[in-house]
Structure 1
Amino acid sequence: MAISADPSPLPHTAVLIGRFQPWHNGHMALLEAALAQAQQVVVVLGSAHQARTPKNPFTWQERARMVQASLAPAERARVHCIPVRDHYNEARWVEAVRQGVQALVPPGADIALVGHFKDQSSSYLQSFPGWKLLSLPRLGAFDATPLREIYWNAAGAPRAEVLAQLAAQLPAPVLDFLASWMDTPDYAAMQEEAAVLRNYHASWASAPYPPVLVTVDAVILCNGHLLLIERGHAPGKGLWALPGGFVEPRDTLWQSCLRELEEETACAIDAPTLAAALQGVLVFDHPDRSLRGRAITHVHVFDLGDRTQLPAVQGGDDAALARWVPLAQVPALETRFFEDHFHVVQSCLERFCAIRLPV
């Protein structure tokens, strides 16, 4: 599909939104088309400030370097990369994108959103009324998922063979980066994570429908501290998380919450005390919140008040350790949180405690 003729002036700024994990030739073709349509291009790097996962293995800084390294020197000054968190809340995400772009655009300048309607994941292109939409035809391979699958190399192929499979679809600087990154501990960790998730999905592949996973988590506050665990196993090994887990077949949500707290933290607070401290329960059900599958969690929020002695805790079961973390230190841990747990904490604190974590 060609761009329809438009007598209006070219926009000052074109906006290209994506995760770009990794940046590939299809993305490059879109960027080149955007540069032909506008004075400058703002590349919005989604899923920023997250822990590495097999789906989002590269930090926003690494992806920004991929973009800039793929450009000719004369074009680099016309391209700006900005990070945007997922937020798992469309209205908040849209506002974050708008604010990030507007900070780089003169007042009153025209803005165009550049994109290709690939599938349902492209629906965000319709979320910015007031921005001109430049819907481009398919300009190469647009799906990075098979590229990541090749890169994680489940078959254990020689490195040269893996890189040869990727070479035709990646700008040369990106291929060089991926080759170097294969020597890092992060690459080995992502390979392990990818293998665990692959086996996990295979365990229910024969089911007539993909399962909907039901879990519980606990946000427990005490004297300005938040109770967290460090995950002991993949997925998310070594990341901070809320204590929680899957609902057992014969448990209520409340019973599962109490059981997970006991198993993962050995928190010495009895059930009546926890019931009195319960502030409420929030449900988090974003379809993309977990790589394990569609996971709906019921987060129980507790406030134990200002007791001077924090309850004793000790990691157990799936938790390598349990720790009371001062709330003032939580924002600094954002990139080390499992799945969407940082945003879960943020939402619960806003809802029940009128606290907004600075990010």
Structure 2
Amino acid sequence: MYDTAIYIGRFQPVHSGHVALLQRALASAAQVIVVVGSAWQARSPKNPFTWQEREAMLRAALPAADSARLQVLPVRDYYNEAVWVKAVRAGVAGLVPQGARIGLVGHFKDATSGYLRAFPGWELMHMERQGDIDATAVRDAYFGAAPGQAAQALAPLAAQLPAGTRAALERFARTPAYPALQEEWHMLRAYRESWSAAPYPPVFVTVDAVLRCQDHVLLIRRAHAPGKGQLAVPGGFIEPRETVWQSCLRELAEETHCDLTEEALRAALQEVAVFDHPDRSQRGRTLTHAHYFDLGQATGLPAVRADDDALEASWLPVGALREREEEFFEDHFHMLDHFLGLTPRP
């Protein structure tokens, strides 16, 4: 027996395989901590449910006595495994007594399971995959359903979905968020199919502009899927005959009409960082070159006007960004966090 068993997952949504691993954890320790990943992400076809909604699904799948032994620890993705591992360790350390014997329950399903090796000192309780379902198949059936047919689309999978999960999915299908996510799911599916015949999966190159002035940062609200309506930094795909610098200037001008000269932007450039986590974009493998500019305390915020792929363009106070974390597209909040230090480092 262990003092504490840890189970890490995204649970988007909870299915029978998750429940089997959770029951193994509950049978192995008096206390169980479930680390719920992808916390505080904006809704997307990959991350449709908040961490609180996923916690409710997990608890609904358990008897009350087992639910009482369960603690849920939400953790951001960070898009940086070293930082993420520190965050998980720090969160767990705050919930268990020093010197506790800790077991980590899980199974190696594919390359995404490598994190299980990142916690030396926690004994791995390996468990073979339970059943033949995964959350991706559930999401594909759910978001690919015809209008008003969500329950019917999930019927072939019903035996592997706890009753609480089925009820939560049926409720969610009646909210405005569901058809919006269906639209995104269809767009992303068509996008990936457009290059499916390529001899190798393509790697996309993009640019982003993080522009700071008077402790405000310039943001857009996206006009189109994916991420329609979500906050983002100005940016886009590099053109074939451009450098990343030229693309950055062009995207900034096209989306915000910010009238700063190239000379002024070059003088304000503080850093260029590459964000290349394999899971940072649902469109496919996408590497972005983010340019961080700081105009300091220049008199007046430069005038901006939304255009091109931007629904809105506006200056937001840096101090207000963290409370709006769940509004950001893909990893753009974490991009801002890298440059601006929005969250405490674990």
| TM over 0.5, shorter chain | yes
Give the distance between the partners of 1:77 and 1:157, measured in 2 at CA.
36
Q: Which residue matches 2:21?
A: 30
Match of 2:197 in 1: 206
Structure-2 separation of matches of 1:164 and 1:258? 50
Out of 251, 276, 280, which is 2:242 matched to?
251
Which region of structure 1 is more displaced relative to structure 2, 156-165 or 340-349? Answer: 156-165
- Please name the residue that 1:345 is paired with: 336
Equivalent residue for 1:218? 209
Q: Which amino acid aligns with 2:51?
A: W
Q: Matched residues in 1 for 2:326 and 2:199: separation?
A: 36
User: What is the alpha-carbon distance in structure 2 between the residues aligned to residue 308 and residue 165 of structure 1?
Assistant: 62
Distance 2:50 2:245 in 1: 37
Matched, 1:133 2:133: no
Report the AA paired with residue 334 of structure 2.
H
Matched with 1:51 is 42
**In the aligned structure 2, how far is the partner of 1:329 from the partner of 1:85?**
18
List gaps (5 residues or longer) in structure 1: 1-9, 350-354
The one-letter code matched in structure 2 to 1:281 is V
State the shift of 1:140 in Å.
2.0
The answer (yes or no) to whether the contact 1:70–1:171 under 8 Å persists in 2 is: yes
Count of matched residue positions in the alignment of Structure 1 and Structure 2: 345
Alignment correspondent of 2:110: 119
Report if aligned partners of 1:29, 1:140 keep a CA contact under 8 Å in 2.
Answer: no
- Rounded to whole Å, the distance in 1 between the matches of 2:152 and 2:175 is 19
Instruction: Please show how residues 171-320 of structure 1 align to structure 2 within 5 Å.
Output: 171-320=162-311
The CA RMSD over aligned residues, in Å, is 1.3
- 2:82 corresponds to which residue? 91
Distance, in Å, in 2 between the alignment partners of 1:269 and 1:29 is: 57
Question: Is the partner of 1:229 in helix, strand or coil?
Answer: strand
Aligned to 1:7: none
Is the contact between residue 336 and residue 342 of structure 2 (CA under 8 Å) also seen in structure 1? no
State how far apart, in whole Å, the 2-side matches of 1:181 and 1:157 are.
12
Q: CA deviation at 1:139?
A: 2.1
Correspondence for 1:146: 137
Q: Which runs of 5+ in 2 are unaligned?
A: none
What's the secondary structure of 1:190's corresponding residue? helix
Percent of counterpart pairs with the same letter?
Answer: 59
- Amino acid in structure 1 at the alignment position of 2:73: I
User: 1:356 offset after TM fit, Å?
Assistant: 4.4
TM-score, structure 2 as length reference: 0.97
CA distance in 1: counterparts of 2:221 and 2:55, whole angstroms = 29
- Would the aligned equivalents of 2:215 and 2:318 in 1 still touch at CA under 8 Å? yes
Q: Which amino acid aligns with 2:132?
A: A
1:160 CA drift (Å): 3.9
Contact 1:163 1:179 in 2 (8 A): no
Could you report, residue by residue, the CA deviation over 1:283-318 in whole angstroms, capped at 9, with x for unpaired residues? 111110000000000011111110131000011000
Structure 2 CA distance, aligned partners of 1:224 and 1:210?
40
Aligned-pair CA distance for 1:156:
5.2
Alpha-carbon contact 1:227-1:242 (below 8 Å) kept: yes
Q: Superposition pairs for residues 328-343 of structure 1, below 5 Å?
A: 328-343=319-334
CA distance in 2, matches of 1:179, 1:166: 14
Aligned to 1:167: 158
Query: Quick one: which amino acid aligns to residue 190 of structure 1?
Result: L
CA contact (8 A) 2:144 2:186 kept: no
SS in 2 for 1:40: strand
Counterparts of 1:200 and 1:154, CA distance in 2: 18
Contact 1:150 1:165 (C-alpha < 8 Å) held by counterparts: no
How far, CA to CA, are the matches of 2:238 and 2:343 in structure 1? Answer: 29
SS at 2:13's partner residue?
Answer: coil
**Match for 1:96: what amino acid?**
A
User: 1:78, CA displacement in angstroms?
Assistant: 0.8
Residue 154 of structure 1: CA displacement?
4.7
DSSP-derived class of the 1:13 partner: strand
The alignment partner of 1:39 has SS state of strand
Give deviations 1:212-261, integer Å, cap 9, x for gaps. Answer: 00000001010110000000001000000010000001111111111101
